[in-house]
Structure 1
Amino acid sequence: MMHGQDWDGEQDLTGWIMSEKLDGFRAFWNGSNLISRTGKILPVPAEFTHGLPSDVCLDGEIWAGYDAFSALFSLFKTNYTGDINRWQNIKYCVFDAPMHPGNYAERHAFAVKSISSRSPHIDIIPIVHCLGLKHLQTILNEITQRKGEGIMLYNPSAKYTSGRTPNLLKVKVAEEEDVKFIKLNPNSYSFLCEQQNGVQCVVKCSGWEYSFPPSPGATLTVKHHGLSLASQKMKYPFLIK
């Protein structure tokens, strides 16, 4: 999967392509299954992926709506992922076609065309060209007002590449940080991880993620609410990717 870097606040992004950054579970469609960032098959009902192409790979986000990540998190945690009735308000929001050789606008258009029959569980994240800093701030303010997470900006001429790249930038409302997985935390659905400042923290995860943990030393992305002044630990960290 391609992952973005944080925008430094100075680079001119005029002409780059903007799309909304959703607060959900990143998922890669390989033609038959949705795959998590760590390479595990995500347990979703068969009806949920109806309409996705069998011969095209897609990149997207499983999303439950604004300010609803906890509901989606609970769905995976309670292992009711096979019941389609619990997925009524959840969508797979597509934003890229990784195997297409073109630039981002071409890949996005190809992704739109590849979905022949749009189901209520499949959506396409719209895109718009950035007209400058004022335009970027206007869009970010609109997203903030509806409790969104931020904006992803794509270099308009760059191809899809795996890993973190300066051709994909994040402008975020919420705080995210990469941590290093150490081991499972006994007796609870959580991981023991190391923050970038060297402090260890306990990161909440779903029961499914706890059953299929990453390898020691793996990099994970968590969402949190800042650092505690006393301990420098993240406040309420939970795994998102």
Structure 2
Amino acid sequence: MRKSARTAAVLRALPFLIGLAVNPAHATSATTSPVMLPNLYHAGAVLSEYWVSEKYDGVRGYWDGEKLLTRSGSVIHPPAWFTAHWPKTPLDGELWAGRGQFDHASATIRQQPADDDAWRHIHYMVFDAPGQPGSFDQRIPALKQLIAQMGVPWVQAVRQFKVAGEVELKRQLDEVVQGGGEGLVLHRGTSLYHAGRSEDMLKFKPFDDAEARVVEHVPGKGKYTGMMGALLVEMPDGTRFRIGTGFTDEQRRNPPPIGSVVTFRYQGMTSGGKPRFARFMRVRNEM
């Protein structure tokens, strides 16, 4: 890329980056994270190198041996009993309330003081043990042993399995999605634990998703007169577009605040580099 083009790209992204600096709670996956994050699955990945598991639709929880952190590093404050018998070694997983129950998990984790009754519906689905040495292949049995020693029913090791090829992988995806699940995660067996995105972890879902910052509420028309009709959002590279579907009437009456970060789903990109068929999923509000 020529210097002038790089400069233009940086200038387009400045408002987004400034917003993150002013309010870290609005940070997206573009910011530094203490956890491993997945890239999108792509055809041609050598499936024999990967373990496969369900992608649990909850709130990421990284246990550093003393406290729970979100994927952006914010501290989670569960009831004391929830982590009372956890080891002094790191764990990585998802705080999950069941398929289709993301809103319950998110609300429970954000509520302060912690609601004991709500937390009793939360499971910690652990898929990695960052404190254990060696590759993911070696960390899987170590993780299972750790979870077994804990003997805590709300902490469970995520089932990891292998697939023979693309056909079986897609069949597994269909089964999870038809059962109300979100998708699959592929984790390279030879990988060491490291923060950030890479090909060592891939997510495979029936649609793509991403995050963008809300910059404007577009007024509604017709039956949505007096409410929000669409969100004008901006991605980290400066790309702006509208999201007009996926909202409940209550969300249109009380839309995500300007400056907040939302997750949306889409199906590929237009020739102009904008997400196709963008549909609102949720506000990213970990804490």
State the TM bucket, normalised to the shorter chain: 0.7 to 0.9
In the TM superposition, what are the counterparts of 1:10-159 in structure 2 within 5 Å?
Answer: 10-54=44-88, 56-77=89-110, 79-80=111-112, 82-115=114-147, 116-159=149-192
Using structure 2 for the length normalisation, give the TM-score: 0.65
Give, in whole Å, the separation in 2 of the partners of 1:46 and 1:193. 39
- Please tell me whether residue 235 in structure 1 is matched to residue 275 in structure 2: no
Give, in whole Å, the separation in 2 of the partners of 1:144 and 1:63. 16
- Could you tell me how far 1:41 is from its partner in structure 2? 0.7
Give, in whole Å, the separation in 2 of the partners of 1:37 and 1:150. 19
Residues 141-180 of structure 1: per-residue CA shift (max 9 Å, x gap) = 1101111111111111121111101111110135421436
- Could you tell me how far 1:193 is from its partner in structure 2? 5.8
In the TM superposition, what are the counterparts of 1:194-209 in structure 2 within 5 Å?
Answer: 194-195=234-235, 198-199=239-240
Residues 111-142 of structure 1: per-residue CA shift (max 9 Å, x gap) = 22123222222111010122111221121111
Contact 1:152 1:170 in 2 (8 A): yes
**In structure 1, what is the equivalent of residue 200 of structure 2?**
167
Cα RMSD over matched residues?
Answer: 3.2
Contact 1:15 1:131 in 2 (8 A): no
Give, as a single letter, the amino acid of the residue that structure 2 aligns with 1:14: S
In 2 relative to 1, CA 2–225 (structure 1 residues): closer, same or farther, beyond 3 Å? closer
Any unmatched runs of 5+ in structure 2? Answer: 1-34, 216-231, 248-258
Give, in whole Å, the separation in 2 of the partners of 1:69 and 1:37. 16
After TM superposition, the runs of 4+ consecutive aligned structure 1 residues lying more than 6 A away are: none
SS at match of 1:236: strand
Instruction: Figure out how many residues of one structure are paired with residues of the other and give that number.
Output: 215
Contact 1:14 1:133 in 2 (8 A): no
Question: Relative to total residues, which structure has the larger helix share, 1 or 2?
Answer: 2
- Could you tell me how far 1:89 is from its partner in structure 2? 1.9
- Could you tell me how far 1:2 is from its partner in structure 2? 0.8
Any unmatched runs of 5+ in structure 1? Answer: 183-191, 205-215
SS at match of 1:128: coil
Give, in whole Å, the separation in 2 of the partners of 1:19 and 1:119. 21
Give, in whole Å, the separation in 2 of the partners of 1:117 and 1:46. 15
SS at match of 1:92: strand
Give, as a single letter, the amino acid of the residue that structure 1 aligns with 2:279: K
Give, as a single letter, the amino acid of the residue that structure 1 aligns with 2:60: R
Which one has the largest radius of gyration? 2
- Could you tell me how far 1:81 is from its partner in structure 2? 5.3
**In structure 2, what is the equivalent of residue 223 of structure 1?**
263
- Could you tell me how far 1:201 is from its partner in structure 2? 7.1
SS at match of 1:44: coil
Give, in whole Å, the separation in 1 of the partners of 2:203 and 2:285. 15
